[in-house]
Amino acid sequence: MAFSLGLGALVSLICGLDRVAMLQIMISRPIVAAPLTALVLGEPMVGLQIGVMVELLWLARLPVGAAVPPDDTQVAVAASALAVILGHSLGSSGVELSLICLMIAIPLGKIGQLFERLARRYNGRLARRVDDALDEGSFFVAELQHLRGLTSFSLAAVGTYAVIMVGGLLTIPLVWPLVQQPLGYSSAWVQLALPLVGIAVILGTINVSRAITLFCASFCMAFLLMWLV
């Protein structure tokens, strides 16, 4: 388990830095981060299930400018790691376990919002130090502040991952015997509900008067294509 937790933390770090600090090649998106985490842990399909369910929930809330939404990246990474690790220890690998891991991870993702705000506040002070260092002609000190800025974002990402993992590892084994059977009955509906909530959020942010018409047309077109196939 310790090795798996370490691999998950490594993916958490890389994807967390991609979120706002560097690269930004979109591996921080849940639809990529979750399967990547599960692939590293040997169960890629588990991550794909979780990534699909998480992606739409935060698609309309991006960390752009001063906006700091809950950390969807770490929710996807930690939920995937929890599902794989606990799947081995609890002897279950169905979608029910993925759902309970996701239900635990989503509210704890709010911690990532707090950690990222602290990191940004700290980096704001570093920016002033960079200005002072450049005024003094000390380029080494200026570069050092950039590295400190990356470190603060790294700690925020891994810290969020750690909080979600600890919460999940302490909570899920206790509640799993109680929720396994009910989730078995309702898992299909929960899987459907999460994307529908995400679609509703996206429609709420579209500045188009015919958004409902466009959604209904797309919905009917999808069913038509499914029927033709």
Give the chain's domain count: 1
With contact defined as beta carbons under 8 Å apart, do 100 and 172 qualify? Answer: yes
| Residues 6+ positions from 38 with CB-CB distance below 8 Å | 44, 45, 46, 47, 48, 50, 80, 81, 83, 84
* DSSP result, 102-114: HHHHHHHTHHHHH
Nearest to 109 by CA among 157, 50, 155, 65: 157
Verdict on whether the full-model pTM lies above 0.95:
no
Phi, psi of 62, rounded to the nearest 5 degrees: -100, 145
pLDDT per residue rounded down to tens, the chain (229 residues): 788 888 888 988 888 888 887 777 888 888 888 889 989 888 888 888 888 778 777 776 666 666 667 788 888 899 888 888 888 777 776 677 888 888 888 888 888 888 888 888 887 787 777 777 777 777 777 777 777 878 888 888 889 899 999 988 898 888 877 776 766 666 666 666 666 666 666 555 555 555 566 666 666 766 666 665 5
Residue 141 token pair: 């000190």
Query: Which residue segment(s) compose the domain that 45 sits in?
Result: 2-228
